[in-house]
Amino acid sequence: MIKIGVDTGGTFTDFVFKKDGKWQILKVLSTPDDPSKAVLKGLRIIGGKNRDITHGSTVATNTVLERKGAKTAFITNEGFEDIIYIGRQERKELYNLFYKRPPNLIPEELRFGIKCRINAKGEIIQDLREEDIQLVIEKLKKHKVESVAVSFLFSFLNPEHEKIFKKRLLSEGFYVSVSHEIVPEFREYERSITTVINSYVMPKMDRYLKNIKSSISENDKFRIIQSNGGVISPETASKEPVRTVLSGPAGGVVGALTLGKKISKEKLITFDMGGTSTDVSLINREVPFSTELKISDYPLKIPVIDIHTVGAGGGSIAYLDEGGSLNVGPESAGADPGPVCYGKGENLTVTDANLYLGRLIPEYFLGGNMELDIDRVNFYFDYYSKKWRIEPLKLAEGILQIANIKMEKAIRVISVERGYDPREFSLFTFGGAGGLHASFLAENLKIPEVIVPKNPGIFSAFGMLMADVIKDYSLTVMINGNKQDLPHIEKIFEMLEKKAFDELISEGIDKNSVRLDRYMDLRYKGQSFEIVIPFSENFIEEFHKEHKRIYGYRSDKDIEIVNLRVRAVGKTEKPDIEKIEIGMEKPEEDSLISYKEVIFEGKKIKTAVYNRENLKAGNVVKGPSVIVEYSSTVVVPPLFEAYVDNYGNLILKNNDGKK
């Protein structure tokens, strides 16, 4: 069986696959108008039968960001129709007197209130009437609605009304999401808006996945990676597409943890710099997950890998802001027209700046399969330097410095601002552009070393092959933790675990490969937000410790158990990470391609260019150097050196004796 990982990015769609016993990689330009075109093109190039395909999709994310989802309606209790508009009454731009909210995903005429009610004990106090259901269905048809989100009060305690409505809507041919299946937790706004977004993207995701499924062999196994780092069947992804919002970035974090354990590096800050954005995450011996995620200012109440994203990537556009200062991003040149050096774009990008400074080697970009136009870059740097009155070299280095500052800030958000010292971690970098910037970020943040895996430009696709089947289940309970009602807690956990076990078996997982993990959302009584803690006999003390680490203090107040969670993990077969040939400390001559002048801090410095494929374990590459490979380029700055470990990873450290 050919194992294939597919990651759709803003600029490239990446493939990593094992065919005829050999690992191979492929990059094709993404097709933003229809991402499946690039996916299917790559699969056709790879060929073969009986393939095991794991895919990270950006369809759900882009559908929300671009507001190109289905015509969707929202159904709730009478009097609560505007909950998805009112939200938490937050004002995004507090001092902007002319600020206006963007239009809601669902206009007012498509929000419907029904006369029915379940109370806070889960008791039905007003029945759902058939005539009300029929009236709403007639209005949905009149407005030509395609998809419907249903979210009734306290449906997580008693989903009876949502079940009735779902059955009727499905019989009429609508796409349907009901809140007790998507988020069976309290907080009506978050639960409702998550259900709305699921319905909003469901038709597009369903058609996308059906298109791919119909275009591949019936013997191919096809799975989608979720935002929580696990994989699910395309059938499940079609019903719950909201769970794939961070699909692509999640693969890289899973791969980093797996490879980190292999080389005894379990405290990692992942740095994934692609063409459009940069994603960072902090791994402290396990994949971090969170239930707090926002997309386009909408909160999603689903378990996700804790990833922070900033709009700085290789394709990020440089410009002068309203104050006349140089700035970079978040707007990206994308795949079309792309950076100036791709031949179409006319806006300078981070990639163009790296090429101008000599840090990208044109003839080795994508293994020489994609030509970079250095003359075009020189022309536009001259043009913009005159227009903006900035010397060309200062402009190029300024673009990189600004991009680095934005990415450095993102790393501080997930480390320093959360009580972690970045000096205790390794910077694990991947993505097509990560190797060009990682050493400079590590230097600024005093991170002791940088790890660059083999084929970093397609590492997220590789990480997807390391993912297990993972499904998350939760229920709001509101129990006083200090008066531990353990039998009641145990009963709820067992109920969630039974559901989790049954659904994993339905995903094709062997019962002996299933692991069930228990978690609790805890808070001090009176607080508005919770901390997720693994369930154990000492969960109260563990909560105190984690609260003190995050906020700097612990309290004597009662602890409240808000939600119980079960994470079901179905172990899957994973590809081996192979060792490479051992060599001497000095790289062999066939690995040295040439020397060229590269600009560092305004000075042209003679720099060695190495072919990474010819480097062996034990080799040490001293800076300044540029190491090229098919999917990425790694810059080893002056005073740095890169050591090649047994698995082909580059370990970059500052060797000046002061760091």
* 232/382 Cα distance (integer angstroms): 50
Check pLDDT > 80 for residue 296. no
**In this structure, are strands 117-118 and 147-150 parallel, antiparallel, or unpaired?**
unpaired
> Which residues have C-beta within 8 Å of that of residue 120, sequence separation ≥ 6?
154, 157
- Angle, CA of 45, 46 and 50, to the nearest 5°: 135
- Average pLDDT value for residue range 170-199: 96
**Whether residue 531 has pLDDT greater than 90:** yes
Any domain includes 92: yes
Q: What angle do CA 624, 629, 634 make, to 5 degrees?
A: 35
Q: Which residues pair with 472 in a beta bridge?
A: 567
Residues 220-244: tens digit of each pLDDT: 999 999 998 899 999 999 999 999 9
pLDDT the model gives residue 191: 95
Residue 140 lies in a domain: yes
User: pLDDT-based confidence at 537, cuts 50/70/90?
Assistant: confident
Q: Is the pLDDT reported for residue 178 higher than 90? A: yes
Provide the domain count of the chain: 3
Contacts of 419 (CB under 8 A, 6+ apart): 549, 550
- Do 595 and 559 lie in a common domain? no
- pLDDT surpassing 50 at residue 659: no
Residue 385 lies in a domain: no
pLDDT tens track for 421-456: 999 999 999 988 999 999 999 999 999 999 999 989
Nearest to 57 by CA among 174, 195, 208: 208
Q: What is the pLDDT of residue 21?
A: 80
pLDDT in tens, 234-291: 999 999 999 998 787 888 999 999 999 999 999 999 999 988 788 999 999 888 888 8
562 confidence band (pLDDT: 50, 70, 90): very high
The answer to which of 7-16, 300-309, 346-355, 457-466 has the lowest mean pLDDT is 7-16
pLDDT at residue 587 is higher than 60: yes
pLDDT > 90 in the chain, percent? 67
Cα gap 29→11, rounded to integer Å: 6
How far apart CA 651 and CA 659 sit, in angstroms, is 15
Q: How far apart are CA 52 and CA 222, in angstroms?
A: 6
Instruction: Let me know if residue 517 belongs to a domain.
Output: yes
Q: What are phi and psi of 4, to 5 degrees?
A: -130, 130
Task: State the average pLDDT for the chain.
Answer: 91
Residues 498 and 629 both lie in one domain: no
Q: Are residues 596 and 566 in the same domain?
A: no
**Residue 31 lies inside a defined structural domain of this protein:** no
Does residue 443 sit in helix, strand or coil? helix
> Helices marked H in 449-530 — which ranges?
459-464, 486-506
Q: Once rounded to an integer, what is the mean pLDDT over residues 593-607? A: 94
Residue 538 phi, psi (nearest 5):
-105, 35
Q: Assess whether 87 and 176 both reside in one domain.
A: yes
The answer to the question of residue 565 being in a domain is yes
Whether residue 611 sits in one domain with residue 529: no
If pLDDT is split at 50, 70 and 90, which confidence band does 484 have? low
Strand, coil or helix: 472: strand
594 and 564 together in one domain? no
Strand locations in 20-77 (E): 22-29, 51-56, 72-77
Band (pLDDT 50/70/90 cuts) for residue 8 is confident
Rounded alpha-carbon distances, angstroms, from residue 232 to 52, 283, 463, 467, 504 = 13, 23, 15, 10, 9
In 3D, which of 69, 61, 80, 85 has the Cα closest to residue 8? 61
Q: Which domain holds residue 113?
A: 65-205
- Judgement on whether residues 525 and 622 belong to the same structural domain of the protein: no
pLDDT tops 80 at residue 500 = yes
How does DSSP classify residue 590? G
Longest CA pairwise span in the chain (Å): 82
306 burial level (CB within 10 Å; 0-12, 13-18, 19+): buried
Looking at 152, 172, 205, the residue that finishes a domain is: 205
Instruction: Identify which of 131-140, 279-288, 325-334 has the greatest average pLDDT.
Output: 131-140
- The pLDDT confidence band at residue 25, using thresholds 50, 70 and 90, is confident
Is the model's pLDDT at 297 over the cut of 50?
Answer: yes
> Which residues on adjacent β-strands are paired with residue 14?
7, 27
Query: Is the pLDDT assigned to residue 337 strictly greater than 90?
Result: no
Domain co-membership, 123 together with 169: yes
Q: How far apart are the first and last CA of the chain?
A: 47
Name the DSSP letter for residue 315.
Answer: T
How far is the C-alpha of 138 from the C-alpha of 398, rounded, in Å?
Answer: 59
d(CA 515, CA 500): 10
69 lies in the same domain as 192: yes
Quick one: 99 and 159 in the same domain? yes
| 410: pLDDT strictly greater than 60 | yes
pLDDT of 658 over the 60 cut:
no
Residue 200, number of CB atoms within 10 A of its CB? 30
CATH classification of the domain holding 475: 3.30.1490
Is the pLDDT at 654 greater than 70, yes or no? yes
Q: Output the pLDDT for position 441.
A: 96
642, part of any domain: yes
CATH code at 96?
Answer: 3.40.1360
pLDDT in tens, 86-125: 988 777 788 888 888 888 899 999 999 999 999 999 999 9
In a domain, 420, yes or no: no
* Same domain, residue pair 638 and 509: no
State pLDDT tens for residues 49-78.
889 999 988 888 888 878 889 999 999 999
Q: Are both 552 and 598 inside the same structural domain?
A: no
Is 80 exceeded by the pLDDT of residue 485? no
